[in-house]
Amino acid sequence: MSAIVERLLKLLATNGVRQYGEERVSQCEHALQCALLAEQEDAPRSLVAAALLHDIGHLLYDASERPSPRGVDDRHEELGAKHLREAFGAAVAEPVRLHVAAKRYLCAIDPAYFGLLSAASVHSLELQGGAFTIAEADAFRSMPYADEATRIRRWDEAAKLPGYETRPLEYYRPALIAALRS
Ligand code: FE
């Protein structure tokens, strides 16, 4: 079971050197900042793991075989969740799967949140379907793991600080192993 943890850590260490979208941090720096924010809020270990792995869907491809062309939503949240579900279960996979919907939700219920989005994030929001309507936001809120996904989404937006000091990737190995479905 822990083989998947080694694979995920390696993926973050290798493909994770890629730039995080148009932000000034790498994918791995972004993941580590997200995980640190989760820890600082005393999130349970499954949510720290989900924070670290929320964008793993972006790293499952080689740079030469991008899953979708520019200007198309890559559905990385579905891909990531699919990759994680069997080993980690819903407590990790569902917040990952819902973290994009959580952005659409937050934009619907919190005008200040929209103001926090980077230009790249505003652009991807359009590709992802834009802010939820009130009815969609209500439906989202009642889904299992909607709260966890919303917390990840807030850390996600904050985890784009160039040069921000984090813990090393290796630090998270025990947390990832502990988050595996027993
Ligand atoms: Fe992210």
CA pair distance 4, 77, nearest whole angstrom: 18
Gyration radius of the chain's alpha carbons: 15
Listed residue (29, 19, 34, 22) closest to 157, CA to CA: 34
CA pair distance 51, 156, nearest whole angstrom: 8
d(CA 56, ligand 1 centre) in Å: 9
pLDDT in tens, 51-104: 999 999 999 977 666 555 667 787 899 999 999 999 999 999 999 999 999 999
d(CA 58, ligand 1 centre) in Å: 9
d(CA 2, ligand 1 centre) in Å: 24
Q: What pLDDT was estimated at residue 71?
A: 74
Under a CB-based contact definition with an 8 Å cutoff, are residues 94 and 88 in contact?
no
Number of separate domains in the chain: 1
d(CA 173, ligand 1 centre) in Å: 20
> Which tokens hold the place of 110?
């919190």
- The CATH number that applies at residue 38 is 1.10.3210.10
**Rounded percentage of the chain residues whose pLDDT exceeds 90:** 83
Q: What pLDDT was estimated at residue 119?
A: 87
Report, as an integer, the average pLDDT of 136-155.
Answer: 98
> Which tokens hold the place of 126?
């359009």
d(CA 160, ligand 1 centre) in Å: 9
Q: What pLDDT was estimated at residue 65?
A: 66
d(CA 81, ligand 1 centre) in Å: 14
d(CA 27, ligand 1 centre) in Å: 8
Q: What pLDDT was estimated at residue 62?
A: 73
Residue 113 domain boundaries = 2-179
d(CA 55, ligand 1 centre) in Å: 5
Residue at token pair 């209500």: 138
Report, as an integer, the average pLDDT of 27-56.
Answer: 98
SS3 at position 159: coil
Residue 9 CB contacts under 8 Å (≥ 6 apart), including other chains: 169, 170, 172, 173, 176
Which alpha helices (H) appear in 17-172, and where do they start and end? 27-40, 45-53, 76-88, 90-109, 111-116, 119-127, 134-141, 146-158
d(CA 3, ligand 1 centre) in Å: 24
Q: What pLDDT was estimated at residue 70?
A: 67
CA pair distance 56, 105, nearest whole angstrom: 21
Q: What pLDDT was estimated at residue 118?
A: 86
- Length of the chain in residues, anyone? 182
Q: What pLDDT was estimated at residue 84?
A: 98
CA pair distance 97, 61, nearest whole angstrom: 18
d(CA 30, ligand 1 centre) in Å: 7
d(CA 135, ligand 1 centre) in Å: 25
Does position 123 have pLDDT exceeding 60, yes or no? Answer: yes
- Tell me what the pLDDT averaged over the chain comes to: 93
d(CA 119, ligand 1 centre) in Å: 14
Report, as an integer, the average pLDDT of 168-178.
Answer: 96
Name the residue with higher pLDDT: 160 or 23: 160
d(CA 143, ligand 1 centre) in Å: 21
